[in-house]
Amino acid sequence: MALPKRKHSKARRDKRRSANSKLTVSSLGACPHCKKLKLSHRVCLYCGYYNGKPVMIIKTKEEKKN
């Protein structure tokens, strides 16, 4: 079984482990129009507003069926 010739530094170990901390989404904010959570700097997927203005028309489930 292969063994390392020299001890790996703590910085090298921590760099490898740092990728796991990127999985959390911390940029969620409340939409000012409908108060649901949305990603910042993006159009709200529930009401279609961005920066206080309607940008998209969101169809409800009943409208999609017809």
Report how far residue 61's alpha carbon sits from residue 45's, in angstroms, rounded to the nearest whole number.
Answer: 14
Establish if 17 belongs to a structural domain. Answer: no
Establish if 8 belongs to a structural domain. Answer: no
Establish if 50 belongs to a structural domain. Answer: yes
Establish if 35 belongs to a structural domain. Answer: yes
In this predicted structure, what is the pLDDT of residue 61?
73
**Mean local confidence (pLDDT), 35-55:** 92
Closest CA to 44 of 56, 62, 61, 26: 56
In this predicted structure, what is the pLDDT of residue 22?
67
Establish if 5 belongs to a structural domain. Answer: no
Domain count along the chain:
1
Round the average pLDDT of the chain to a whole number and report it.
Answer: 86
Residue at token pair 């796991």: 20
Global pTM? 0.54
- The secondary structure element, H or E, covering residue 37 is strand 37-39
How confident is residue 48, by pLDDT bands cut at 50, 70 and 90?
A: very high
Tokens of 11: 């910085």
Q: Residues 15-42: pLDDT tens digits?
A: 988 877 766 666 889 999 999 999 889 9
